[in-house]
Chains A and B, each alone.
Chain A
Amino acid sequence: MTAAAPPSVSPPATGSAGGSVTGVFVRLKLSLMRNGLRQSRGRTVGWCIGVGLTMLYALANGAGMIALRGNHYAPAVSVTVAVVLGVGWAVMPLFFFGGDDTLDPTRLAMLPLRPRPLLTALLTSSLVGVGPLFTLLLAAGAVTAVAHGPAAVVVSALSVALLLVLCVALSRAIAAANTRLLTSRRGRDLALLSGLFVAVGAQLVNLGLSSLSGTDGLHRATSAASVLRWIPPATAVDAVRSTGRGAYGLAAVQLAVTVAATALVLRWWHRSLFRLMVSPDASTIAAAPEASGGRDRSAGRSPLGLRLPSGRTGTVMQRQFRYMWRDPRAKAALATGLAVGLLLPLVAVVQHGTVYQCLWAAGLLGIQMYNQFGLDGSAFWTVMATIADRRDAEAELRGRALAIAVIAVPYVTVVTTGAAVLLGQADALAETLGLSFAFTGALVATGGFASVRYPYAVPRDNPFSNAAPGQSGLVMINVFGGTLTGAALCLPVLGPVVALHLTGHHGLLWLALPVGALYGAALAALALRFTAPRLLDRLPEILATVRK
């Protein structure tokens, strides 16, 4: 390696040494990209398709921006594009930190490199790649939409370059500042949960967009843009518009703001890098004993444990509850179920829909019973080593089912009652609740069976994949087979309810509540009893599947 200068005391001259380090880093980045593609043909094809689509999107976006030229809303759109690019680059490290080795500066700590040439080299190598190219195309489109006149074109070039450098440096600075967090277990947990934040965020954006689609929506967008254009990556784009209007002073101020922001970000990055390179590596910190004795929240048993059934069932329930809170996957699955189970009835309330939308809450919580052992992963061996007979197997399944029921039954009751009251459909409450309980019971019943008969592995390292390679067929069996069978098992309750509606016996519909609740509970209990010997029989096969 050309950069491996002899470990002399004198610092390497910034100019020449920095230049060679930059070359090494750019070549390193290119080799990493090339080697990533060489791993498998499928990966290469996938990468090419992804890049093709990204480029198509960028070009289409650019074409749209060019078409917007002269439009009243063009400035608002272009500053929004710039802000979205900035935010995108800022949150990217959270998602891709594990995937990009060059993002982790602690890997370079053993090399004789000084922060300043390292900064130049990392910045330059960060500009190589698909992401920066995509950003470049979008930024070019954004400035094209607002650039009027030769002076503005000259400023455009400067502003696109500034925007790109600012975005990349911001991303790197955030990654460097949070390296400790992102390489720690808590950081990886956070990354797993980030999918949930994105989903909720997308819903909020959706709500915002639908409120913008009103008559005065676009005016509101324009007034938002008047604030956005003073947020740094957007200042560069808006400087182009200011130049085109002849407001050179304003343009100069906006460019200065951009440069100052870039300088600040670079300085922050430099400080974080320096701190990272001279202080010990995160893994040692993590291994050091925590303030021991400080956390005594779980000494003995948790408050939850006091009211749980005795024996294996209660033990299993307690562990399930702890996992729902502590395991990011279990937490994300449950939180998604709870959030969407609330959101869909809310949509019904807003749109004056029907209280039957509340069945979603029951369905989304009931499906938590699916692939129980896949979520255990290879830790399933502990379960396996302690299940010796049919009773153990049944207690294990019952504990898992009860842990779900303890959450689902009150939640569904509250959500359904609330929705029914808000919708003014209180007379339909009893039948909806009855159907909900029957549906939950049916899903717990089929989910328990599917967990034993069709388990699949959940990969630990990839937060965005829900099945190990080659097992997606099993996921399909679970999702489609499970929901269809679950719905079919509800027919004994649904049929009479429909019949009572058709024959006009509305006075008897309240019967659906006790019948549905009893049916759901009995169905789940019977199914678990039926599944238990199969679990006992298939223990090694389940372990072999879920440990992948």
Chain B
Amino acid sequence: MAQEPDGTPPRADRGAPLPYYGTAGGSGQAQGGAGAPDGGPVPAVRVRGLWKRFGEQAAVAGIELDLPAGRFIGLVGPNGAGKTTTLSMVTGLLRPDDGLVQINGHDVWADPVAVKSRIGVLPEGLRLFERLSGRELLAYTGRLRGLPGAEVDKRTGQLLDVLDLTAAQHKLVVDYSTGMRKKIGLAAALLHNPEVLFLDEPFEGVDPVSAQVIRGVLERYTAGGGTVVFSSHVMELVESLCDWVAVMAAGRIVARGPLAEVRGEAPTLQDAFLSLVGADRRTGQDLDWLGGGSR
């Protein structure tokens, strides 16, 4: 989408002050260059001092994070760790109380024109326009993104085909199964060829066949240079898919880095994760009757 960033009103005037906006200068291009820890170029996602409180409880308590571009990144953590809240704030769906978020150097809240065309989102717990058929939904989303109609229709056909939704393309999304909804949501997120793709629990409740299809599409996308950030609490999945992980617990990042680094000495990511979030395995000593032949 080639839209000039004119007329965008300053958006930092609401709620708590966002201290980083002063230095970011509003243009969004003010990255220091030395922000990435691995010395690479501009990080795909840069988060500084991100806070969100719901009442007394801090759902996200001061996150500092740089996600490298072109990687398959897993954001893992137990339920309630703040993954969805973080992803919502990073993608501009939820206004943070405090903090800075940049996507490829563009500030999410100060420069929405630059950011919204560069990211694709598959949120969790938010509906789609379900009374549209799968094909209509993609046509609608693509045109809202400002893509030319013919291009939208071409990409729609290809995405439906690759995601195995062609047979259901004229069915209303409200009648889709969970796996089909995730796939059509992924198609809608990919339609404008974003630079960074944010997926919140993309494999939750998805059958193995659909999961494999989604996986294939995501691997193709990262092979072409795209960055995938997805949240999950299924460690085996993260371990097999991701080359970079960030572990969240209680609203904070407790570990980050390449998969092997985070896993460290532990035999699996699952073990590393359990010790990181401080949960040890419980044994079912009281259920000694369970599994026996007698009732």
Q: A residues bordering B, Cβ < 8 Å?
A: 185, 286-287, 289-290, 292-293, 295-301, 311-312, 315-316, 318-319, 322-323, 326-327, 376-379, 381-391, 533, 536-537, 540-541, 543-544, 547
Distance in Å: Cβ of B82 to nearest Cβ of chain A = 16
Given contacts A286-B175, A389-B3, contact A537 B11 (CB under 8 A): yes
**Considering only CB atoms, which chain B residue lies closest to A318 in the complex?**
B140
CA distance A391 to B172 in the complex (A): 30
Q: Report chain B residues within 8 Å CB of A290.
A: 171
CA distance A351 to B115 in the complex (A): 61
**Considering only CB atoms, which chain A residue lies closest to B125 in the complex?**
A378
- B55 interface residue, CB < 8 Å from A? no
Q: Report chain A residues within 8 Å CB of B136.
A: 298, 322
| In contact, B140 and A543 (Cβ under 8 angstroms) | no
Distance in Å: Cβ of B143 to nearest Cβ of chain A = 4
CA distance A287 to B180 in the complex (A): 10
Q: Report chain A residues within 8 Å CB of B144.
A: 312, 315-316, 382-383, 386
CA distance A379 to B181 in the complex (A): 13
Distance in Å: Cβ of B221 to nearest Cβ of chain A = 18
Q: B residues bordering A, Cβ < 8 Å?
A: 1, 3, 5-9, 11, 14, 91-95, 112-113, 115-117, 121, 123, 125-133, 135-136, 139-141, 143-146, 153, 167-168, 170-172, 174-175, 177, 188
Q: Report chain A residues within 8 Å CB of B170.
A: 292-293, 295-299
CA distance A537 to B14 in the complex (A): 9
Q: Report chain B residues within 8 Å CB of A298.
A: 133, 135-136, 170
| In contact, B123 and A388 (Cβ under 8 angstroms) | no
Leading 3 A-B pairs by shortest Cβ distance = A386-B144, A315-B143, A326-B131
**Considering only CB atoms, which chain B residue lies closest to A540 in the complex?**
B95
| In contact, A312 and B14 (Cβ under 8 angstroms) | no
Q: A315-B143, A377-B127, A382-B128 are in contact. List 18 more A-B contacts (CB 8 A).
A: A185-B174, A185-B175, A298-B136, A315-B144, A318-B140, A319-B140, A323-B129, A326-B172, A379-B128, A382-B129, A382-B188, A384-B93, A386-B145, A389-B6, A390-B8, A390-B9, A536-B9, A540-B93
CA distance A384 to B129 in the complex (A): 13
CA distance A541 to B11 in the complex (A): 13
Q: Chain A contact residues: over half helix, strand or loop, or mixed?
A: helix
Q: Report chain A residues within 8 Å CB of B94.
A: 540, 543-544
Distance in Å: Cβ of A419 to nearest Cβ of chain B = 34
Q: Report chain B residues within 8 Å CB of A390.
A: 7-9
Q: Report chain A residues within 8 Å CB of B3.
A: 388-389, 391
Distance in Å: Cβ of A470 to nearest Cβ of chain B = 14
CA distance A315 to B149 in the complex (A): 10
CA distance A298 to B177 in the complex (A): 21
Q: Report chain A residues within 8 Å CB of B140.
A: 315, 318-319
Q: Report chain A residues within 8 Å CB of B1.
A: 388
CA distance A377 to B168 in the complex (A): 24
Given contacts A319-B132, A322-B132, A379-B130, contact A388 B95 (CB under 8 A): no
Q: Report chain B residues within 8 Å CB of A311.
A: 143, 146
| In contact, B9 and A388 (Cβ under 8 angstroms) | no
Distance in Å: Cβ of B50 to nearest Cβ of chain A = 14
CA distance A323 to B129 in the complex (A): 9
Q: Which of B7, B126, B143 contacts A381 (CB 8 A)?
A: B126
Distance in Å: Cβ of A532 to nearest Cβ of chain B = 10
**Considering only CB atoms, which chain A residue lies closest to B170 in the complex?**
A295
Distance in Å: Cβ of B148 to nearest Cβ of chain A = 10
CA distance A322 to B193 in the complex (A): 27
| Contact sample, A vs B, 10 pairs, CB 8 Å cutoff | A292-B167, A292-B170, A292-B171, A300-B153, A312-B146, A315-B140, A318-B140, A389-B6, A390-B7, A391-B7
CA distance A386 to B172 in the complex (A): 22
Q: Report chain B residues within 8 Å CB of A323.
A: 129, 131
CA distance A40 to B171 in the complex (A): 40
Distance in Å: Cβ of B292 to nearest Cβ of chain A = 18
Interface centre among A315, A322, A544 (most CB of B within 10 A): A315
Interface centre among A318, A327, A540 (most CB of B within 10 A): A540
| In contact, B116 and A533 (Cβ under 8 angstroms) | no
Q: Report chain B residues within 8 Å CB of A381.
A: 93, 121, 123, 126
CA distance A95 to B6 in the complex (A): 52
Q: Report chain B residues within 8 Å CB of A389.
A: 3, 5-8, 112-113
CA distance A287 to B8 in the complex (A): 45
| In contact, B93 and A543 (Cβ under 8 angstroms) | yes
Distance in Å: Cβ of A202 to nearest Cβ of chain B = 28
CA distance A378 to B185 in the complex (A): 14
Given contacts A388-B112, A540-B93, contact A533 B9 (CB under 8 A): yes
Distance in Å: Cβ of A84 to nearest Cβ of chain B = 36
Q: Report chain B residues within 8 Å CB of A543.
A: 93-94
| In contact, B116 and A385 (Cβ under 8 angstroms) | yes
| In contact, A322 and B131 (Cβ under 8 angstroms) | yes
| In contact, B129 and A379 (Cβ under 8 angstroms) | yes
| In contact, B116 and A327 (Cβ under 8 angstroms) | no
| In contact, A312 and B143 (Cβ under 8 angstroms) | yes
Q: Report chain A residues within 8 Å CB of B121.
A: 381, 385
Q: Report chain A residues within 8 Å CB of B93.
A: 381, 384-385, 540, 543
Given contacts A300-B153, A381-B93, A382-B188, contact A547 B126 (CB under 8 A): yes
**Considering only CB atoms, which chain A residue lies closest to B89 in the complex?**
A540
CA distance A487 to B128 in the complex (A): 36
**Considering only CB atoms, which chain B residue lies closest to A294 in the complex?**
B170
Q: Report chain B residues within 8 Å CB of A378.
A: 125-127
| In contact, A540 and B92 (Cβ under 8 angstroms) | yes
Distance in Å: Cβ of B25 to nearest Cβ of chain A = 19
Given contacts A389-B7, A540-B94, A543-B93, contact A382 B131 (CB under 8 A): no
Q: Report chain B residues within 8 Å CB of A299.
A: 135, 170
Q: Report chain A residues within 8 Å CB of B11.
A: 537
CA distance A297 to B171 in the complex (A): 11
Q: Report chain A residues within 8 Å CB of B130.
A: 379
Q: Report chain B residues within 8 Å CB of A386.
A: 116, 141, 144-146
